[in-house]
Structure 1
């Protein structure tokens, strides 16, 4: 799993700006899911949802400032109890100390917080020390060493959690000059003016002008017009973002090669995903958080030769809360009743259960934080529409700001307006659709045991 890897920065998803040959191997030899979504588009909450199979109002990890109670039931604990060897290397980001450090793993070595790209400190059960080298290579090296030294008579589950491509996008020497002399094409929505939407889009501080020196690693050249400076900033950002992805792709290739050398490809499930999506200049932004497509959508490619036909794709909706149930199902371990996600094993065979979901629920809690200023919101996405309610209140959540704003709604027709440029909420000609989606949103909230905002009546 990577951190902040947008699916539209993977060539198997049709990226127009980079190539990821080793990640593509997983898709080409397995299945690509085209509608995988997160339920809260920010690192810590999404990771908690993946581990526990529950939404954040249930696991209580709602913001970056709320850490996971390591007594919670997770799929690694259940696999460990079932006899699996379990290991975790890389980013944890769910808190440190006795109450938050990893549990359910035979071996683990993680970065404190975000960690560093170069010669990072890493923590394990014995303490912490500096590991000299580049973080993506180090995590890959640790994973390969563990694979080679494990008990080959027992099944295993290994989580390889890369820091990249998280901000501040520091490439290794091998990829430092990649894309030099090239001009990366700006996205169609790069010069979005945030008209025809709620105030939240215009208030967010994730524009190119909000990139800092530590992101750009150079002073802005003098004499540039505002438009030229914006483009210059984009080129500095996007090239480093793609460079750190190239190192992840290399590391994935090394792991895939090892599985082949060991002769365990057919019996090993390999998954590549990210904790959420990311804006790659889309709407003029970097970062994530919003329920808009580029942030909401997660890459998810899977290879499992004994069950999955090579080169297959799936358009059905899967969510980060589903991952745990799938893993347990494939391992033959009973899925706990408290897990809110659902195994999508039938989808691996091209079989869609009649009652499979046609809509999903999202909630972003970290209102008006000091850095990005994205307003709190929740919403519903179907295959054709997206309804978002910006309730614009931190509700006392840790890491949220105290300032509130009047609530606003947005509604998008995803077929007619795939880039979500014009909200049609309140338009008379969609009144019936709007009413139906609002009812469905409230029904789904009740089903998932989440409370609607008190002004949402």
Structure 2
């Protein structure tokens, strides 16, 4: 964009969206026409990964362009370091109207400038709205699966709240209102849907959109599970007591939640069109992390390194600047988004960002690119699961604090070309000895050069 035509930013994010639960990612059962349209008008990244599979740390990684070990927000419930600059602060300083609408999952009240967001509309506002409307509480009032089905110890079923009184509908409406108010000025708005994260509670008609018996479960929903994997049994346990029928029922509601989000994204995109803003608005859709979605017999997420929770959808659209209907298969990271937004908008961001701008890939250029991505969940020097993943191989290391020292408790290695569902741990297979050693070394090199912030005291 030229200096005379400031670029708007519409960053749409969901929570816990498995990349396989999208039509444009090859799923012929889930209905996502509006996100499919966005992909047909923009660039879809098939190999995008979060840098940590947990809500707050991942969101802060997106905002700062840094790994969680560097920005220091290691876990949900801790507070972020206000001295780490965010991409939104740069847009605010450049005169943009800024807003976070939805689930930001950060400590806005403890940060003097709220990370650069002028407008903050979140779950507290939604709760006040529901109370004022005397409307059904979406996660309380509904028809639910039995109590022993509790992904993340939460309910699954049909909410009695209509779309207008559901978080997806409410935050979409607030985003549309923000766009209308700021149509004549540059804006940077984060629209963050709390769903399809648990509780999985779509409204009608989406709650009844899918017939469980007609849905296809992942091949690894039931097999000889590797219970030596630290955290796998615990993740299954907090999911509930599933059989095939309940996996299908849960999947039907999960797909319903995804389709409800898609409907509301459609309303937002339609509003952009009506306001004449689509041509000068960079639209991003992604998720903070994935969802087990029945894979390995589990739902939600855990301290694991499976693609189900590390791989995320990523779609980017900017008419005329980026080609339409392009699919890129390079390994990209959520920390790449901050430098991408800044470069595309012609702004210079803060130093210390660890991601790489996706601009070359978005504009169709062929350039040398990374061959490995890194992701971690937990606190380094204490309790952490680390992943090094190439296009076709994955190495996972489980470090745990034992007797005052961090020790590697378990390792995994997957040939993703032959075993895309990660069902065969080849760590002891001598045929892969050199490849395992190579990824071990790449992970060790990354640890050595990636600064680690102090561990939290709370």
> TM-score higher than 0.5 here?
yes
CA-based RMSD: 2.8
Match of 1:255 among 245, 257, 268: 268
1:359 matched to which residue of 2? Answer: 372
Q: Secondary structure at the match of 1:393?
A: strand
Give the CA deviation at 1:353: 2.5
1:310 matched to which residue of 2? Answer: 324
Give the CA deviation at 1:182: 4.6
Structure 2 gaps of 5+ residues are 1-12, 133-162, 454-458
Give the CA deviation at 1:394: 9.0
Distance 2:82 2:131 in 1: 24
Distance 2:120 2:70 in 1: 26
Match of 1:136 among 151, 158, 168: 168
1:234 matched to which residue of 2? Answer: 247
Q: Secondary structure at the match of 1:333?
A: coil
Q: Is the CA contact (8 Å cut-off) linking 2:72 and 2:452 kept in structure 1? A: no
Distance 2:113 2:250 in 1: 32
2:201 matched to which residue of 1? Answer: 170
Structure 1 gaps of 5+ residues are 122-130, 213-225, 368-374, 397-402, 452-457
Q: Secondary structure at the match of 2:219?
A: coil
* Structure 1 range deviating more: 234-243 or 314-323: 234-243
Distance 1:353 1:23 in 2: 28
Distance 2:128 2:450 in 1: 38
1:217 matched to which residue of 2? Answer: none
Matching of residues 142-221 of structure 1 within 5 Å: 142-150=174-182, 152=184, 154-180=185-211, 182-195=213-226, 198-200=228-230, 202-206=232-236, 210-211=238-239
Give the CA deviation at 1:405: 8.2
Matching of residues 259-270 of structure 1 within 5 Å: 259-270=272-283
Q: Is the CA contact (8 Å cut-off) linking 1:119 and 1:135 kept in structure 2? A: no
Distance 1:430 1:266 in 2: 49
In the comparison of the two structures, how many residue pairs are matched?
409
Distance 1:418 1:15, change over 3 A: same
1:21 matched to which residue of 2? Answer: 33
2:130 matched to which residue of 1? Answer: 119
Distance 1:238 1:394 in 2: 38
Q: Is the CA contact (8 Å cut-off) linking 1:365 and 1:394 kept in structure 2? A: no
1:393 corresponds to 2:393 = no
Matching of residues 12-161 of structure 1 within 5 Å: 12-95=24-107, 97-99=109-111, 102-112=114-124, 119=130, 133-150=165-182, 152=184, 154-161=185-192
Give the CA deviation at 1:404: 8.9
Q: Which protein, 1 or 2, shows the higher relative CO under an 8 Å CA cutoff with sep ≥ 6? A: 2
Give the CA deviation at 1:190: 1.0
2:6 matched to which residue of 1? Answer: none
Instruction: Please report the TM-score for the alignment, with normalisation by the length of structure 1.
Output: 0.83
Give the CA deviation at 1:71: 4.1
